[in-house]
């Protein structure tokens, strides 16, 4: 059987920080209220001239350098995002041009916070099929452009950034042992952006006035319980598929949704929380990019070591959830 390897990772977050103390000046909130409920202290915000493809470009360049692969050797780019530069052409098309990946095919995947794992899944299957050899998987978001900054419940959550990985068929590098993805469309209304699609065509003064083009969270308390269960289920699925137990796992790298959710997940799994890799305090929730950025940071910091068993897990709008197991 072919061996799919992750041979390089990279990430990028914008320079500008938006702290909880900054938010105290524009909405009715406090640093203590935000941190207690979410675990977030600050988040990164893209410059007004930075688009999603710009953040992804830097993350991809770092991943390519880490992998030792030139842009011309990439034959497929998969971009996970819910905030592409434009809806047409795709964000991946813009990124392809900026990277100079002239031999690559490129397309977007929309799976909200589970996007990076969905993209890994597609890349894994395409490499197994023999259709492509060197695939650049990237997740990037400029969430600050779709946030309603008057909504004190949700605007505190989101940040901007991008993370990437280079996948290829190889006996070298970290082995992507398996990926697992799921959806439940009937519950998709719990996290949605109502405006901008064919349902609200044409975009009007009324739809803008009603703030239909911002991301909305509905029944957040209910989503909390579902998220904990889906995070844990996805981890168990990856372990069962590969014949491992939770005691074999060195790191769980989850989507950075909410620190309390991740603590509850660890408790449900019987897994030490100190081995759950956390970035939410400094970056907030970056939707599809959270897992990719955390993975790169865990690798570059030396937290992940050779032969470590690493499980990625995510849950997001759609509903979507999934996992990936990697032997580093």
Q: 282 and 231, same structural domain?
A: yes
Smallest CA-to-CA distance from 314 within 186, 181, 224 is with 181
Q: 64 and 35, same structural domain?
A: yes
Q: Are 261 and 234 in contact (CB under 8 A)?
A: no
CATH number of domain containing 73: 3.40.47.10
Q: 130 and 11, same structural domain?
A: yes
Residue 293 has pLDDT above 80, yes or no: yes
Smallest CA-to-CA distance from 262 within 41, 43, 38 is with 38
Q: Are 323 and 120 in contact (CB under 8 A)?
A: no
Which has the higher per-residue pLDDT, 6 or 200? 6
Q: Flag the least confident range among 129-138, 216-225, 227-236, 276-285.
A: 216-225
Q: 60 and 93, same structural domain?
A: yes
Q: Which residues pair with 315 in a beta bridge?
A: 321
pLDDT for res 213: 73
Residue 267 has pLDDT above 80, yes or no: yes
Q: 228 and 120, same structural domain?
A: no
Q: 218 and 123, same structural domain?
A: no
Q: 272 and 316, same structural domain?
A: yes
Q: 169 and 111, same structural domain?
A: yes
**Last residue within a domain, chosen from 118, 150, 173:** 173
% residues pLDDT > 70 (the chain): 95
Q: 143 and 15, same structural domain?
A: yes
**Last residue within a domain, chosen from 145, 173, 201:** 173
State how far the Cα of 321 lies from the Cα of 315, in Å rounded to an integer.
4
Give the distance from CA 154 to its chain's centroid.
Answer: 18
Q: 18 and 140, same structural domain?
A: yes
Range of the structural domain that residue 322 is part of: 178-327
The residues annotated with a catalytic role in the active site are 113, 255, 285
Q: Are 104 and 129 in contact (CB under 8 A)?
A: no
Q: 208 and 133, same structural domain?
A: no
**Last residue within a domain, chosen from 121, 155, 173:** 173
State how far the Cα of 277 lies from the Cα of 163, in Å rounded to an integer.
15
Residue 196 has pLDDT above 90, yes or no: no
Q: 275 and 225, same structural domain?
A: yes
Listed as own residue / partner, the contacts of 124-131 with beta carbons closer than 8 Å and 24 or more positions apart are: 124/4, 124/167, 124/176, 124/179, 126/76, 127/2, 127/4, 127/167, 127/168, 127/169, 128/2, 128/4
pLDDT-based confidence at residue 219 (cuts at 50, 70, 90): low
pTM summary value: 0.95
- Structurally, the chain folds into a number of domains equal to 2
């Amino acid at each position: 059987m072919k061996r799919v390897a992750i041979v390089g990772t990279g990430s990028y977050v914008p320079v500008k920080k938006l702290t909880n103390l900054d938010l105290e000046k524009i909405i009715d909130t406090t640093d203590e209220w935000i941190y207690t409920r979410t675990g977030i202290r600050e988040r990164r915000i893209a410059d007004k001239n930075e688009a999603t493809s710009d953040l992804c470009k830097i993350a991809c360049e770092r991943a390519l350098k880490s992998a030792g692969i030139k842009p011309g050797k990439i034959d497929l780019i998969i971009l996970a995002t819910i905030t592409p530069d434009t809806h047409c052409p795709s964000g991946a098309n813009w990124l392809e041009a900026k990277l100079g990946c002239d031999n690559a095919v490129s397309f977007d995947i929309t799976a909200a916070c589970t996007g990076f794992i969905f993209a890994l899944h597609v890349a894994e299957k395409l490499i197994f099929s023999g259709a492509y050899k060197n695939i650049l998987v990237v997740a990037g978001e400029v969430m600050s452009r779709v946030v309603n900054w008057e909504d004190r419940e949700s605007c505190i959550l989101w940040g901007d950034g991008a993370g990437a990985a280079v996948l290829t068929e190889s006996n070298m590098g970290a082995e992507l042992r398996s990926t697992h993805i799921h959806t439940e469309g009937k519950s998709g209304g719990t996290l949605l952006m109502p405006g901008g699609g064919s349902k609200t065509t044409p975009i009007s003064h009324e739809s803008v006035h009603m703030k239909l083009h911002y991301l909305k969270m509905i029944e957040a308390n209910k989503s909390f319980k579902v998220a904990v269960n889906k995070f844990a289920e996805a981890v168990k699925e990856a372990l069962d598929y590969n014949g491992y137990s939770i005691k074999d796992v060195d790191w769980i790298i989850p989507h950075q949704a909410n620190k309390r959710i991740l603590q509850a997940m660890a408790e449900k799994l019987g897994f030490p929380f100190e081995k759950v890799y956390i970035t939410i305090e400094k970056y907030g929730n970056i939707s599809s990019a959270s897992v990719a950025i955390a993975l790169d940071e865990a690798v570059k910091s030396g937290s992940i070591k050779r032969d470590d068993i690493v499980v990625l897990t995510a849950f997001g709008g759609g509903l979507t959830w999934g996992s990936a197991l990697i032997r580093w």
